[in-house]
Amino acid sequence: MKKIVLFIAMMPGIYSCYAQRAAVIANGVWRGVLQRNDGVGIVFNFKVTDTAGRKLVYIMNAGNRLAVDNMDQKGDSVIIRLPFFDSEFRVRRAGDNELTGRWVKHLADRDVVIPFTARRNENYRFIITHKAITANISGRWSAAFRDTVTGKTSSLVGVFEQNGNHLTGSFLTRSGDYRFLEGVVDGDSLKISGFDGGYAQYFSAKIDNNNTISGGHFFSGSGPATQVWTASRNDNAQLEEASLRELLNTDISPKLNFAFKDADGNMVAFTDERFRNKIVIIQIMGSWCPNCMDETGFINKLYSEYKHKGVEMMGLSYERTADFSRSAPAVKNFMKRLGITYPVLIPPVAVSDPQRTEKTIPQLKKITAFPTTVFVGRDGTIKEVHAGFNGPGTGEDYEKQKEDFYRIVNHLVEE
C-alpha cells in the first residue's frame, strides 16, 4: 500500500518532467509560415539543433544564419525570444513535426500578432511546379514601387543572383536594403522572402523575359498588401544620394554640442575629453533597426582598425519610446549581441517624434534613414553624412559601401 501511495505522490513530478521534455522542439530543418490577414503566407526556414547541451534555432535567409538561444518551456508550450527587435514566437508542439502558435512583435504602443505554423523536414522555401524557367534574372534592375492607397511611388534597385530555380538577392532603397532574401524562379514566377525577427517580407512577380519583370506585389507584416512593383534590367542602376548641402542645417553653429545618457545611465557629452580633437564617427541607429545591425558588424571592425589613429565612435540610439527605463535594456542587449565597444547614447525622444532631429542633433536638417552615419572632423564639425546602409545581402553594393567608408575615414585621418 505504501508503494502505491508513493507512486501516486510522485506522479505530478513525473508528469511535469514529461511535459517539459515533450515541449522540446525536435531537431531538423523546418519551414515556417506567417499567415497574413489577406491569406498570403510569408515563408522562411529555420534549423533546430543542439549545441553544447543547449537547444539552438538558426533562422536561415540566403547565406545568413541568425542564432536564437533564448527559449522558455512551460508544459507543452515554448516561447522563443528573438535576439533583436523585441519579438518572439509563442508555439505549441503537435507531435515531432508540427508547431502552431503566433509571432508577436512588441511596438511602443501595441503588439503586432501574426498566426504562425511550421513543419519539420520541409527544407524547401517555395514549392517548384515548373523546373523549366522563362529567364535568368541575375544582375541589377531598376524597380518602381507604387502604394495603391496613397499613390506614392518610389525607385528601388533590385539585385538578384539566380542559379537554376534558386534565387537570392535584395532591394536597395535610400534608407538601406531589404537584407537577405531567398526564394525561387518557378517557370515565369518570381517568389522571394525574408524574415529576421524584425521584419517579414515577401515579393512576388511575373518574369516576362530577361529584361522585364511585371505584376509584382510586396507583402510585409500582417497586411493588408498595398504595394505593387515592376522592374527593368539596368546594369548601371543606382540610387540618387542626397548631397552634404541637402543634409546639413547651416542656420546654426556647425559645432556639435549634445549630451545624453548612455545605456548605463551615465551622461556622455560630445565635448568630453574622449572625443576632443578626434575624428568622430556618429552612428544614428536604433536597436529595432535590422540595417543598423548590418552596419554595426562593419563599423566595429572599422573602429578597431582606426581608433589608434585618433578615430572615435559613438552611437545615438533612437528607440520606440522616450522612456529611458524601457529603452536601455533593448540597447544593452543590442550592444552585447553585436560586441559594441564604443558608447551608445539614448536621446530622450522617441524615433517617431517628428522633431527628433531638431531636439537632438540640429546641425542636420532631418534624419531620413536608420542608420545614418555622420563623420565629424577634429574641429568638431560635420564633414560627411551617409544616409542608409547597404548590407551584406546586397553583394557588390556592400563592398562598395565599405570602400566609401574607408575612403572618408582615410581622408579625415590624413588631413
Question: CB under 8 Å to 215, separation ≥6 — which residues?
Answer: 205, 206, 228, 230
Rounded to the nearest angstrom, the gap between the alpha carbon of residue 78 and the centroid of all alpha carbons in its chain is 24
Residue 47 — very low, low, confident or very high, per pLDDT cuts 50/70/90?
A: very high
Q: What is the DSSP string of 36-86?
A: -TTS-EEEEEEEEEEETTEEEEEEEETTEEEEE-EEEEETTEEEEE-SSTT
290-327 in b/e form (b: 16+ CB < 10 A) is bbbbbbbebbbebbeebeeeebbbbbbbbbbbbebeeb
pLDDT tens column, 159-169: 999 999 999 99
* Long-range CB pairs of 138-142, under 8 A, 24+ apart, other chains included: 138/162, 139/233, 139/235, 140/233, 140/234, 140/235, 140/236, 140/237, 141/213, 141/231, 141/232, 141/233, 141/234, 141/237, 142/231, 142/232, 142/233, 142/234, 142/237
Assessment of whether the complete model's pTM goes beyond 0.85: yes
Please state which of the ranges 49-63, 277-291, 308-322, 338-352 shows the lowest mean pLDDT.
49-63
Q: What is the mean pLDDT of residues 231-256?
A: 91
Domains along the sequence of the chain with CATH: 2-120 (2.40.128), 139-233 (2.40.128.120), 244-414 (3.40.30.10)
Residue 326 — very low, low, confident or very high, per pLDDT cuts 50/70/90?
A: very high
Phi, psi (degrees; rounded to nearest 5) at 297: -55, -40
pLDDT at 17 over 50: no
Please state which of the ranges 19-28, 189-198, 311-320, 370-379 shows the lowest mean pLDDT.
19-28
Quote the strand ranges of 252-291, DSSP E.
259-262, 267-269, 279-285
Q: What whole-number distance in Å separates Cα of residue 204 and Cα of residue 140?
A: 17
Average pLDDT, the chain: 91
Of 122-136, 137-151, 217-231, the range with the highest mean pLDDT is 137-151
Q: What whole-number distance in Å separates Cα of residue 399 and Cα of residue 390?
A: 9
pLDDT tens column, 246-283: 889 998 999 999 999 999 999 999 999 999 999 999 99
pLDDT tens column, 146-157: 999 999 999 999
Q: What is the mean pLDDT of residues 12-33?
A: 64
Q: What is the mean pLDDT of residues 107-133?
A: 92
Residue 23 — very low, low, confident or very high, per pLDDT cuts 50/70/90?
A: low
Half-sphere exposure in the Cβ direction for 175 (13 Å, CA): 11
